[in-house]
Structure 1
Amino acid sequence: MDLHLLSGTAVFSAFAGMTMYSELSSEWNWGQAFMFGFAILAGMELMSASVHVLFGGFSAIPIRAAHLDAFDFKDMYFIFLNKICTVPFMYHYNSICLDSAVLKMEPKDLTFANSVGGFIALFLVYDFIYALYHRFLHVRGVYSLVHKHHHRQHSPTRGNPDGVNVHPLEFLLGEYNFLLAVYLVKPHAYAAMAFIVIGGVMASLNHTRTDFCIPYVYDVKAHDVHHRIPQSNYGQFISVWDRCMGSFREYHDTVDKRK
C-alpha cells in the first residue's frame, strides 16, 4: 500500500478517535453534531466558490509550470479526509472563541488593541510559526514523507481543493496553528473569528491564478513562486518573515526554473 495513503489514514483515524473520546461527555446529541458538521462543510464550499466570484475581475497569473490536470484517488481521498477534519477543528476553534475565560467576547470589551491590534498580531504569530514549520517540511528526508504530495501541483488553479490537497498530518498541524495563535495572542473573540474567515479566504486564494496583491504584505504570486521554486516563500499569508529570514523570492515575468 502507498505509504502516504497508509500514514494519512492512520493520522486521520487517530485524530477522529481522540476527538470522539474527548467529546464523550459533550452535551451535544448526534443530530446537533450532524447539523454543525453540515454547516461547516457547506460554509467551506460556499467560501471556495465565492473566492472565484469575488476576485474574478483580477488579471490571471500566467501558468509557468506543469499543472496537475486531474486528481487521482489519493488526491480525492486526502481532500475528503481534510474536509472532515475541518469540522472538529472548527468546533474547537468556536469553543475557544465563545469561552469568556479565554477570550473577551462582549462588545463592551472591544478595544483597538484587542481588535485591530489583535487581528494583525494573529497573522504575525501564525505565519512566524507556519514559516518555520513549512521550512521543516522541505528538509530532505522529511519532504518525501509528508509535503511532497502537495507539491505534485506546480501551478495551483482550483483554490480550496488544491489548497487542502495535502497529507492529513500537514493539514491538521496547519489548522491547529490557528488555534495556537489565538491562545498566544488572546485577541477579542471578534478578531479571532475574522482571522479564521479571512485566513481561509487567503489560503484558498493562494491556490488560484488570481493576481491579487497587498504590497509588501500579501501577494498570491508569492505562493505561486513557492510551488515552482519550493526553497522560497514559506509563509502562508504574509511575506514579512520570509523577508526577515532571507527566503523571500520576488515573482518575475520571466520563467524561473524549479529547484
Structure 2
Amino acid sequence: MPMNFHDPKNQVSYATRTADESWLQLISEHLKVKGKFAADIGCGGGIYTEALLTLGAKHVTSVDFSAEMLKGAANHLGATDRVTFVQGDACRLPLPAEHADIVLERALIHHLNDLRPCFAEAYRILKPGGTLIVQDRTPEDSLKPGSNTNVRGFFFEKFPRLAETETSRRHPAESVTAALRDSGFRQIKELKLWETRAIFATPEALYADLRHRTGRSILHELSDAELEELIAYIAGKMGSVGSGPIIEKDPWTIWLAQA
C-alpha cells in the first residue's frame, strides 16, 4: 500500500535527520542563499527548510499538502520566526507572485504526472532572476546496483516489482529539462550528487531504520513479512561489512533553473 502522508503515524518519517554537508556544499557552490527569501515546496519534515536556513536564508516559506507533514516539520525546526508554514498544493500555491528569490522542490516531482503546472507555479512565485532548485531521482538514478553504500539498490534486486513502481514514477532528465524550458525557465543546469543519507553505527541500526520505513515511501509497498525478507536479503548481501559503520548514500539529479 502506498505511503499515506496524511497519517499522523508518518508525521516524523521525513523529520529524523539533517541535510548532508555534500548537499550544503553543492548548493553553496552554485547559488548564494544568504539573505534571500526562499520557498521549500513539498517540505515534508522540514529537513531542507533547515538546510536553507543553515545556508543563511533570511526567511523560508515551507509548503506541503499534508497538515501532518507540516506538524512534523514544525516540531523538527522548533520555534523560529524565520519560517512560515503553509498548507497547499504545489500546482496551485497559495503564495503571491514574485514571493521568493529561491524555490526548492526536493523529492517532489516524482509525485506528479505533469510537471508543467508545478514548474509554472514556481516560476510565478519567483522574483525575476530567481532560481528554482529541483532535486529528484531519474529512472537511471533509481536502478543503480545495490552496494554497501547504495542500500536502496537492494530493494529492487529483491523485489523487481518495486523497480517497476519506482521507475514508473520517476521522470527522465530530458523530460524535466523540457518542462522547465516550457515553463519559462532559462540557463538550466543539470548536476549529479551522491548525497549521504545516513550513517548507521551498526548493520542492526540500518535494519531498525528499514523496519520503521523511515523516509522510504517505497517500502510502504511491502508487507511486514516481505520487509523482513528484504532485510534478510540485505544482511546476506552486506555480510562483509562486519559491525559497521554503514554510510548510506543516494544518487540524485539536481536541476538549477533561472526565472
> TM-score, structure 1 length as denominator?
0.26
Q: Which of the pair has the greater relative contact order for Cα pairs under 8 Å at 6+ separation?
A: 1
Higher share of residues assigned helix = 1
